Amino acid sequence: MARPTAQVLALLELLQSGGVRTMAELAERLGVEPRTVRRYVSHLVDLDLPVESVRGRYGGYRLAAGYRLPPLMFNDDEALAVLLGLIAGRRAGLATATDTAGETAAAKIRRVLPPRTADRLDAALQSLAFTAEPGDFPAPQTEVLLAVAEAVRHHRPISVQYTSGDGRRSVRVLHPFGLVNHAGRWYVTGVDPEIGEERTLRLDRIADARPLPGSFEPPAGNDPAGHLLNSMARAPYPHAVSLRIQGTVEQIRRRLPASIAEVREGADEGWQDVEIRAESLVARRARRARPAVRHRTPGRTPRPRRRTRRAASGLGTT
């Protein structure tokens, strides 16, 4: 159920659409009793919003004629930051299953901006190009994300209806520790209290999330993002990857996540043979760290080319 403040704002949005809204209509739209609607109206009146009561058979509530909310006071930097954030979030997989939410939010902001600021923002957005195509990421339901986030914040256990990757459906209880967005997908990390084991669930596979009575204490040093990366690294992958990386063992372990199965000293001085469990995850980290990497053929000990040695700066130190 939405919080009272959110419900009051929802009531205001209904009234702003114009006309008289009956008590029955408002109660149905908000999912509350008529007496609760009257209480929400009182909150709006206390905020000096001109809500009028209309008597009669088809009476109800309406905003005073000609009333408009004051415009949002954004400067150019703030307005551009908000709109770019909406665009970037949608492309990066930060949106929820409500595909139009970002578009309608951006439209509302642009509608109340001063004409000069709106024109300049339109010019910036129309001139903007991206080097990468927008990702087609599975999005979680808004209500599921908010319910899980609230459970994380208040350390409440939750019951979730979950569908696994192979299509099996189940109802699970979870002590959620944190939400993580990784590679365009949303995850929740936590512990299954029945077996005491850590779990990582994808939010887009959760059909429903409901809080349960009680509370729990998160572990000390809780790191949801680190737990997610480690769990992905330990997961079985169809391919094993062997890399030869220039640098010390300490440098390699500091730069790469805990997906390294083994590090052995290579035949060439300053080079290490690294066995990787999580191919896709480590590949992204390796590109960012810019190590000198070459494939290793089983049964053969390759020597680095001189050009590679000169160009590679190794992993370096920070």
What local confidence, expressed as pLDDT, does residue 104 receive?
74
Q: Is 110 exposed, middle or buried (0-12, 13-18, 19+ CB in 10 A)?
A: middle
Count the neighbouring beta carbons within 10 Å of the beta carbon of residue 99: 10
Question: How far apart are alpha carbons 85 and 68 in whole angstroms?
Answer: 27
CA-derived radius of gyration, the chain: 27
Above 60 in pLDDT, residue 289? no
Tell if the pTM clears 0.75, that is, is over it.
no
What local confidence, expressed as pLDDT, does residue 284 receive?
46
Question: How far apart are alpha carbons 318 and 314 in whole angstroms?
Answer: 12
Contacts of residue 226, defined as CB under 8 A and 6 or more positions apart, other chains included, come to none
Backbone angles phi, psi at 47, to 5 degrees: -90, 10
Contacts of residue 185, defined as CB under 8 A and 6 or more positions apart, other chains included, come to 93, 137, 138, 202, 203, 204
For 90, the token pair is 């949608």
Span 208-232, mean pLDDT? Answer: 89
Separation in Å, CA 125 to CA 88, 121, 130, 231: 12, 6, 11, 39
Span 89-93, mean pLDDT? Answer: 77
- Partners of residue 198 on adjacent β-strands: 191
Question: How far apart are alpha carbons 49 and 305 in whole angstroms?
Answer: 75
Better-scored residue on pLDDT, 239 or 178: 178
Span 270-295, mean pLDDT? Answer: 53
Instruction: Describe the strand order of the beta sheet including 51-54 as a list of residue ranges.
Output: 21-22, 60-63, 51-54
Q: Is 93 helix (H, G, I), strand (E, B) or coil?
A: coil
pLDDT digits over 13-60, tens only? 888 777 888 888 899 888 899 889 999 998 888 877 888 888 877 778
Question: How far apart are alpha carbons 93 and 195 in whole angstroms?
Answer: 32
pLDDT digits over 99-124, tens only? 567 777 777 777 767 788 888 888 88
